[in-house]
Structure 1
Amino acid sequence: MNEPAQAAAAPLFNPLSPEFIRNPYPHYDHLRQLDPVHITAHGMYLVSRHADVSSVLRDKRFGKDFVERSTRRYGPKIMEEPIFRSMSHWMLQQDPPDHTRLRGLVVKAFTARRVEDMRPRIQEVVDRTLDRVIPQGQMDLIEDFAFRLPVTIICDMLGIPKEHREVFFSGTRDSGRILDPVPLTPEDIAKSNANYVLSQMYFQQLFELRRKQPGDDLTTQLVQAEEDGSKLTNEELTANIILLFGAGHETTVNLIGNGLLALYRNPDQLALLKARPELIANAIEEFLRYDSSVQMTGRVTLESIDDLGDKKIPKGETVLCLLGSANRDPAAYPDQPDRLDITRPNVRPLSFGGGIHFCLGAQLARIEAEIAISTLLRRLPDLRLDDAQNPEWRPTFVLRGLKRLPARW
């Protein structure tokens, strides 16, 4: 009799537990069925159904209110920590009018036309990466392949000189913890501060370089907006360049890695994509839906809410939207949502968020993943994973991705 009682006492949402990180989807299933608007151990409201997530992302009664939210969780001194002060200036954490002003400064670099024009450059980077590793007969698909492409492209966009890039290719990828919905320890904060200070030092040098030698890049554009004085402060400039660099590669690395893992775990879908390469664009949408590289995004109630599920939510509360759960909700995808199907019709994943914070780089990420995965399958048709069943996941929840994915051919 004892075991079920213990199992029942386990929290419905324990995002950093190894089994949750390995496969969060059965846990989401429980949440959607048992408690679709769930209050977590840390007092946050967790929304898991597609309809609810979708409506929160687009509803103006929900905002970001980052400073107030962080102060409530960590106390009034938290904004003295460099990493929190920097994040408070991220456009991702801003509400209008600041969000509108900051996003307006960078949106031109991500228009559909500009991103389409980057296809030849993306293809060149993928081919050069494969030329380097093919003679070796093996590689880590994350570090040697998925990681190099989006880092190279975001370096291009930000005008980071080629001779500065090696440090970014060899950099550690342990910054994801700052976004997880579990309070950070003082050690976590100290580590994040140290990483932030190093980034800040580098980008301040880059700003100096682009003031003296302007280029056709985002950094030059933002430095000029800062010099205008009314558009951007130096602190905002630094914070948002760091955000663009991180967001510009982290999630795409995971999209490529998670997509490849899903394909190789589903040999019928892999064979289908090899036979019909024209399915790649729809396949990318299905990878985004099936195993999203961003599992969650947060909002704050700007007024009290009484029409979300069965809960009344007071003003100022944090509401966490489980994008990964919404993407597998049978109410939105009635035909076997837990199955990978690259021919699935009407796939509209919520992986890029929604509303005013819809991901700026969504189209760029799609095209990078499309070119990377289709080129890999074409050039290495006999590639096989060392261990598709037990890969090593990164110990973070919001940013879902693999630590490594060894393969050979």
Structure 2
Amino acid sequence: MNEQVQGANQGAGGDPLFNPLSPDFIRDPYPHYDRLRTIDPIHVTPFGQFVASRHADVSLVMRDKRFGKDFVERSKRRYGPNIMEEPVFRNLGHTMLQADPPDHTRLRGLVVKAFTARRVEDMRPRIQEIVDQTLDAMIDRGHMDLIGDFAFRLPVTIICDMLGIPEEHREAFHKGSSDGVRILDPVPMTPDEIKQGNARNLMAQMYFQQLFELRRRNPGDDLITQLVQAEEDGNKLTNEELTANIMLLFVAGHETTVNLIGNGLLALHRNPDQLALLKARPELMAGAIEEFLRYDSSVQMTGRVALEDIDDLGGVKIPKGETVLCLLGSANRDPAVYPDRPDRLDVTRPNVKPLSFGGGIHFCLGAQLARIEAEIAIATLLRRLPDLRIDDIENPEWRATFVLRGLKRLPASWRARAR
């Protein structure tokens, strides 16, 4: 590594400026982001990736057509020429998340109808029903884990509804592991992590292949039926694409929402003035969700590859083929966009437009669904359990992943029978 890159990778104390899987970074990445934006806003990692931390640069990279995903070549540069033989990488390569046009346009076009504003808005009664049923089942206990018992069940149930996963299969999904998102982190996976990822991936593929056969024989009013029929109508999807994108929708359909609810609840309880304000004025909830997204984003980073030489990104040249990591969590707290104390939670903050759902052609399909789920979940919890207290707001247990930021568990208690 040359001296310039070595120097750019270190802060004043000799610590790495960007070490996203370190415990200190996972516990609170925001002071690290402040340093990056101030000292080295287009930072080069030891792996040769460029890291953009300012709002203007992040926003440009996500929307500029000179940047794309280039997943196969990017993965080969990082892991070696045979990496796409690994099932977990091959599967991800078939998803719309990692596709560039025209494949991205074709794949997204097949599922976008399931996420129209009207369809999502029509789900409100079902979302409310699930939240109330979840609280009914435990309100007499006086304690729960806000992640596993509450935040997790709602979006998993909703995405199972949308995909058409039968009721009798769902308990396994409710208890499912969230380890599969490690592949998205900017620190390369170890051979052992790849092996574990392959095993999980093959198990999921086997399940969904059986479900596709079921829906071919017994069509339903669900997304899997819709995609199976599209596959049969005009070969718009290969079987690998069908499997990969259903698996993506399942994971993306709950992971980010679980984290949005959990991170939002923790932020509120760490800021009792904002919690009291939201209880007193529940009409602020929709705006508060935007602030939760900005303040502690469920998705901290997204990546792009330069499809041509870029002469000037924040004063830096990006050669064709190089990766730019866009720090969404950092952009969301950039004082250039949020001059009024961006590190403070303010549920009345005006003009909040978080980048948490990405941008450009890869803007999150389920953004509005996630917003509505979080809005109903948090509003109902505050209304029905007004005396709920989180057991430990100072040192909660974060998951050891960076790209998707969320809590492993969040124990809470209240006076039982608070109906």
Q: Same fold (TM over 0.5)?
A: yes
1:102 paired residue number: 107
2:7 paired residue number: none
Are 2:251 and 1:255 aligned?
no
- Displacement, 1:172? 1.7
Identity across matched positions, percent: 81
2:204 paired residue number: 199
Q: Which amino acid aligns with 2:47?
A: H
Are 2:354 and 1:349 aligned?
yes
* CA distance in structure 1 between the aligned counterparts of 2:150 and 2:370, rounded to whole angstroms: 15
Q: Return the match for 1:396 from 374, 397, 401.
A: 401
Q: Return the match for 1:158 from 154, 163, 170.
A: 163
* CA distance in structure 2 between the aligned counterparts of 1:353 and 1:331, rounded to whole angstroms: 19
2:304 paired residue number: 299
Q: Return the match for 1:220 from 221, 225, 244.
A: 225
Q: 1:130 to 1:10 in 2, by over 3 A?
A: same
Are 2:189 and 1:210 aligned?
no
* CA distance in structure 2 between the aligned counterparts of 1:344 and 1:243, rounded to whole angstroms: 33
Are 2:321 and 1:316 aligned?
yes
- Displacement, 1:212? 0.5
Are 2:30 and 1:25 aligned?
yes
- Displacement, 1:54? 0.5
2:11–2:17 CA contact under 8 A, matched in 1:
no
Are 2:16 and 1:11 aligned?
yes
Residue ranges of structure 2 left out of the alignment (5+ in a row) = 1-9, 415-419
1:46 paired residue number: 51
* CA distance in structure 1 between the aligned counterparts of 2:14 and 2:47, rounded to whole angstroms: 16
Q: Return the match for 2:120 from 103, 115, 118.
A: 115
* CA distance in structure 2 between the aligned counterparts of 1:229 and 1:243, rounded to whole angstroms: 22
- Displacement, 1:228? 2.3
* CA distance in structure 2 between the aligned counterparts of 1:19 and 1:176, rounded to whole angstroms: 20
Residue ranges of structure 1 left out of the alignment (5+ in a row) = none
Q: Deviations over 1:192-235 (max 9, x none)?
A: 10110111011011101100110110000000111124311000
Q: Which amino acid aligns with 1:187?
A: D
* CA distance in structure 2 between the aligned counterparts of 1:208 and 1:128, rounded to whole angstroms: 32
- Displacement, 1:7? 5.5
> Alignment partner of 2:62: what SS?
helix
Q: Return the match for 1:378 from 383, 391, 401.
A: 383
Are 2:124 and 1:129 aligned?
no
* CA distance in structure 1 between the aligned counterparts of 2:183 and 2:11, rounded to whole angstroms: 31
2:94–2:241 CA contact under 8 A, matched in 1:
yes
Q: Return the match for 1:86 from 65, 84, 91.
A: 91
* CA distance in structure 2 between the aligned counterparts of 1:81 and 1:229, rounded to whole angstroms: 29
Query: What does 1:230-245 correspond to in 2, within 5 Å?
Result: 230-245=235-250
Q: Deviations over 1:233-290 (max 9, x none)?
A: 0000000000000000000000000000000000000000000000000000000000
Q: Deviations over 1:120-179 (max 9, x none)?
A: 000000000000011111000000000000000000000001010000011122122111
* CA distance in structure 2 between the aligned counterparts of 1:160 and 1:201, rounded to whole angstroms: 14
Are 2:187 and 1:182 aligned?
yes
Deviating 4+ runs (over 3 angstroms): none
Q: Return the match for 2:370 from 365, 369, 378.
A: 365
* CA distance in structure 2 between the aligned counterparts of 1:325 and 1:7, rounded to whole angstroms: 19
* CA distance in structure 2 between the aligned counterparts of 1:118 and 1:98, rounded to whole angstroms: 29
* CA distance in structure 1 between the aligned counterparts of 2:20 and 2:40, rounded to whole angstroms: 16
- Displacement, 1:306? 1.1
Q: Deviations over 1:37-61 (max 9, x none)?
A: 0001110000000011001110000
- Displacement, 1:119? 0.1
- Displacement, 1:312? 0.8
Using the size of structure 2 for normalisation, the TM-score is: 0.96
1:37 paired residue number: 42
Q: Return the match for 1:276 from 276, 281, 290.
A: 281
* CA distance in structure 2 between the aligned counterparts of 1:332 and 1:232, rounded to whole angstroms: 41
Q: Which amino acid aligns with 2:160?
A: C
2:396–2:410 CA contact under 8 A, matched in 1:
yes
* CA distance in structure 2 between the aligned counterparts of 1:112 and 1:240, rounded to whole angstroms: 21
* CA distance in structure 2 between the aligned counterparts of 1:84 and 1:396, rounded to whole angstroms: 18
Q: Which amino acid aligns with 2:244?
A: A
- Displacement, 1:310? 2.0
* CA distance in structure 1 between the aligned counterparts of 2:290 and 2:372, rounded to whole angstroms: 11
Q: Which amino acid aligns with 1:43?
A: G
Q: Which amino acid aligns with 2:385?
A: L
Are 2:211 and 1:172 aligned?
no
Are 2:258 and 1:246 aligned?
no
- Displacement, 1:292? 0.1
* CA distance in structure 2 between the aligned counterparts of 1:352 and 1:196, rounded to whole angstroms: 25
2:306–2:318 CA contact under 8 A, matched in 1:
yes
> Alignment partner of 1:136: what SS?
coil
